[in-house]
Amino acid sequence: MAADAPSAPRPNIVLILVDDMGWSDIGCYGSEIPTPNLDALAASGVRFTQFYNTGRCSPTRASLLTGHYPHQAGMGHLDNRVIPGHRGFQGKISDSSVTIAEVLRDAGYFTAMTGKWHLGQQHGTPPWKRGFMRSLNLQAGGVHFYNQGGPKGNAKLFLNGEEKALNDELFGEWYGADLWSDWGLKFIDEARQDEKPFFLYLAHCAPHFPLMAPE
């Protein structure tokens, strides 16, 4: 009888994370700057009034993707803080932690991420090894343009694990927020062609400094 029962619906999931946005930066929480689209989402959804996140982005990202406290997930600080022998400071997502992408992939979802990773790619845990079937990512953050100079000018993009230069002709002349969103849509289109439910993790670098606009 159980085998004949209809399967439960599997909703598509889009998880959007912005970087370094404060609690009062959104209109519905009292910001002086209008944010009508975000306010509309809040009005039709759930708005948290009691919550906590860490003061550093890597621990928060690790908790978001694993459901573990940061130190349980191996990310007690940024991914450049590694203390040998300490589970809480591995500089990457712990091998003992399972990501939501791994769970959903194994459940038949098409899983993808775009944007800032910052979870220990240099230590062996890039997105394509932690459950994401498709990815376009930066190892860390602070990159907003294809021709960016300064200390971030030598950063690389990674498309499904393949290293790409920031100015690779495949991407054209891009602005980060648009690039991550556009490729997120490409991955969603691929999921639809495969007739699979999808999970997209869209991790913007903005509005973290350096504050940069496309024009």
Q: How far apart are CA 27 and CA 90, in angstroms?
A: 37
Q: What is the pLDDT of residue 4?
A: 55
Question: E strands of 12-147, at which residues?
Answer: 13-17, 110-116, 134-138
> DSSP string of 96-112?
T---HHHHHHHTT-EEE
Under the banding of pLDDT at 50, 70 and 90, the label for residue 105 is: very high
Does residue 1 register a pLDDT over 50? no
**Closest to 129 (Cα-Cα) out of 156, 163, 105:** 105
The mean per-residue pLDDT over the stretch 1-28 comes to: 83
pLDDT reported for residue 173: 96
Q: What percent of the chain has pLDDT over 90?
A: 82
Question: Residue 199: which H helix or E strand, with range?
Answer: strand 198-203
Class of domain 10-44+99-215: alpha beta
Q: Mean pLDDT over all residues of the chain?
A: 94
User: Would the pLDDT of 53 be above 60?
Assistant: yes
Can you tell me the mean pLDDT for 5-21?
88
Q: Nearest Cα to 100, choosing from 183, 15, 184?
A: 15
Banded model confidence at residue 52, pLDDT cuts 50, 70, 90: confident
Residues that are catalytic: 57, 118
The residue that leads in pLDDT, 5 or 105, is 105
Tell me the C-alpha to C-alpha distance, in Å, between residue 38 and each of 28, 56, 78, 168, 188.
8, 23, 28, 32, 21
Confidence of residue 66 (pLDDT cuts 50, 70, 90): very high
pLDDT grade for 169, boundaries at 50, 70 and 90: very high
In terms of Cβ atoms closer than 10 Å to its own Cβ (0-12, 13-18, 19+), residue 194 is: exposed
Among 19-23, 62-66, 161-165, the minimum mean pLDDT is found in 19-23
Q: Which of 3-12, 28-37, 49-58 has the lowest mean pLDDT?
A: 3-12
- pTM for this entry: 0.93
Amino acid at site 165: A
Residues of CATH 3.40.720.10 domain(s) within the chain?
Answer: 10-44+99-215
